[in-house]
Amino acid sequence: MNLQYKKRVFYTLLLLTGIMILIILRLAYIQLILRSSKLPESQFTLQEMSVLQRERGVVLDSGRGKFYDRFGIPLTDETIPAAVLFPVSQQVREEGHEHLEEIAHELQTEVPVLQQTWSNLNVPILWTKPGNNVPLGLKDNQVKQMSKLKVSGIEILPYESRYRSTFSGMQWLGYLTQQADLQHLTHTGYAFQKGASGLERTLEPLLKGKGPTTAYYTVDGRNQPVPGTGIRVKSPGNSYYPLHFNTTVDASLQHKLEQLTMNEGMNEGAIVVLDADTADVRAMVSRPFYNPLDIKPNQKEWNNRALQAAVPGSIFKTVVAAAALEARVTSKHEHFYCSGHYGKYGLSCWKEGGHGNITLEEAFADSCNVVFATLAERLSKPQLEQAAYKLGLGRRVGWEATHILGLPLLRPFDHEQSGVIFTDNAPIHDGGILAQTGIGQRDVQVTPLQAANLIVTLLHGGKVQSPRILQNISYSNGQLMKELPSHSSLSSEGSIRPQTARLLKHWMEKVVTEGTGQSLSGSLWTLAGKSGTAQVIVNGRARNNQWFIGYGPADQPKYAVAVLIQNASPDSRNRATIMFGKVMDTLAAHTS
């Protein structure tokens, strides 16, 4: 009986194998015959024809998460009407031949170009603007006109455009790269988008969504549309996705400041505006601008200069003053004498002839190099570094969280640099290095984000806040998914004393009333801050970094601002001070 059972199993498997082979041969036969035969399709069975039908689709919406400003204004994803060309047979294309000239006109192209593109298709395509890969958005009158023509194989469909094809200073948002999606590539030619920089990259695991929305056009083996099928739309159908990412940025303010940089001829640098109470980013502008739809990696416009470290010059004197007061190597009552020359290391004061007898408060307001080189030499490398760390320099300060939303680390600011106070091999008590560091030169580098946050730190009595650009994430139906609350960013060194922070704030007010920032006295708000000019070498030429950091209104601070203008001529005045005043006037008008 055991032998008979084995025989039955053997013959059953043999029969199933034979059936499978026949099915495979039949399918192969159908494919070969249809491609070579001139017989009409009606001579094939319905089953055979269903095998030969194919779906040709195009992605209308990637399903990627969407970004909004703090008031719910969309920062990405604009729905536009776009023309989609589907691959159809020559016979179908010829049926609409009489309308091609009109269609070509609406699509901003020539008839031969349209014909060649259409005839070479294997998968549907979105018709793009001449000279780039951005889908051409159609106006209402164009949509009406093309819809009247009813040319088979050309459809007007709603397309979700991730970005507008314009230049902006929102490099913090980032851009996308294309990568082949094996799941959809066969039928749609779809290349899925992956974040390459900015929030698009740092939030990639959460942004991916649940799949694209795709429009399908059913054709047979000859690329002829199957009658009665029309356009079908497939989407994930999930009411929770795509996720909504709500930033802290004020889009209107961002655009106003971008326009300001253009009006003022600012070519390189950054502007950072932080909320004085929360350290939330209200605007972050990086120059030169970038176009997220036309990235040239070698030119690096996509790089966010607000997060890149630069030589700070005299704004670093704020740190030196804090270090000297905390170490008690000076006091606010000490007097100094500036002859204009330091007498060693080749240092001199920016003011020809010097400042003469001067107090520490006056030295800060007038940015005296001699006084701050003197103070720095009284300190050690660890003392200067500790003061910098306490104030949020020499380390990343951007908001971050561990083990949140299933991620081991959520750090929204992409490629935020830590900055530098001293290089690792710098001697601890080298007088020349300390003196140069005291005026914000040598190895010192600070990011504009750190510089603006330094102001917030002083406004909070020496407690370092962690700037935030993302406030929460919600589901597509409006339900809150996760709040991302503000938090502080204290260093292991602790904080500076509140009385030191108060004194530095008072000195910043003196900068505007009596010092290097007196040109700001006519601003809409009463302001306070610190100027800085750093000597750098760019492509073998002597250039300057021009800075101004501060806050306003001075009596009830609303915003902390850092302005950096890079690659400036050494002979030019500090344009960052002028720009700071215009930024603050913009803020005053914006919040009134």
| Per-residue model confidence as pLDDT tens digits over 336-359 | 999 989 988 888 898 888 899 999
Give the residue, 164 or 509, on which the prediction is more confident. Answer: 509
Cα dist from 298 to 56, 133, 302, whole Å: 36, 19, 10
- pLDDT above 80 for 51: no
Of 52-66, 327-341, 346-360, least confident by mean pLDDT is 52-66
Residue 128 DSSP SS3 = strand
* 4 — pLDDT class (breaks 50, 70, 90): low
Region(s) of the chain under CATH 3.40.710.10: 251-591
Of 1-10, 126-135, 256-265, least confident by mean pLDDT is 1-10
| Model pLDDT for residues 167-220, shown as the tens digit of each residue | 999 999 999 987 644 444 433 444 567 999 999 999 999 998 888 888 877 766
Calculate the average pLDDT of the chain: 88
| Model pLDDT for residues 96-119, shown as the tens digit of each residue | 888 999 999 999 999 999 999 998
Distance, CA of 416 to CA of 423 (rounded, Å)? 18
Of 186-195, 283-292, 391-400, least confident by mean pLDDT is 186-195
Span between the terminal Cα atoms of the chain, in Å: 96
Report which listed range, 84-88, 214-218, 458-462, is most confident.
Answer: 458-462
Of 153-167, 171-185, 543-557, least confident by mean pLDDT is 171-185
Q: How much is the pTM? A: 0.86
Q: 215 exposed, middle or buried (CB, 10 Å; 0-12, 13-18, 19+)? A: buried
Give the Cβ contact number of residue 335 at 10 Å. Answer: 11
- The residue assigned the tokens 């830590």 is 418
Q: Which amino acid is at 318?
A: T
Region(s) of the chain under CATH 3.90.1310.10: 54-247
Characterize the bridge pairing of strands 559-568 and 541-552. antiparallel
* 140 — pLDDT class (breaks 50, 70, 90): very high
In this predicted structure, what is the pLDDT of residue 189?
41
Distance, CA of 592 to CA of 585 (rounded, Å)? 11
Closest CA to 446 of 376, 397, 394, 501: 394
| Model pLDDT for residues 211-257, shown as the tens digit of each residue | 888 887 776 666 666 655 667 888 888 889 999 999 999 999 999 99
In this predicted structure, what is the pLDDT of residue 224?
62
CATH architecture of 251-591: 3-Layer(aba) Sandwich (3.40)
In this predicted structure, what is the pLDDT of residue 105?
92
* 88 — pLDDT class (breaks 50, 70, 90): confident
CATH number of 54-247: 3.90.1310.10
Cis peptide preceding 553, ω within 30 of 0: yes
Give Cβ neighbours of residue 516 (< 8 Å, ≥ 6 apart).
365, 366, 367, 531, 574, 577
CA 49 centroid distance within chain: 50
Buried/exposed code over 118-149 (b: 16+ C-beta within 10 A; e: otherwise): beebebbbbbbeeeeebbbbbeeebeeebeee
Closest CA to 488 of 528, 511, 461, 517: 461
Q: Point out which residues pair with 551 in neighbouring strands.
A: 528, 560
Characterize the bridge pairing of strands 244-247 and 66-68. parallel
Cis peptide preceding 242, ω within 30 of 0: yes
In this predicted structure, what is the pLDDT of residue 2?
57
| Model pLDDT for residues 396-451, shown as the tens digit of each residue | 999 999 988 888 999 999 999 999 999 988 777 789 999 999 999 999 999 999 99
In this predicted structure, what is the pLDDT of residue 19?
60
Distance, CA of 459 to CA of 501 (rounded, Å)? 7
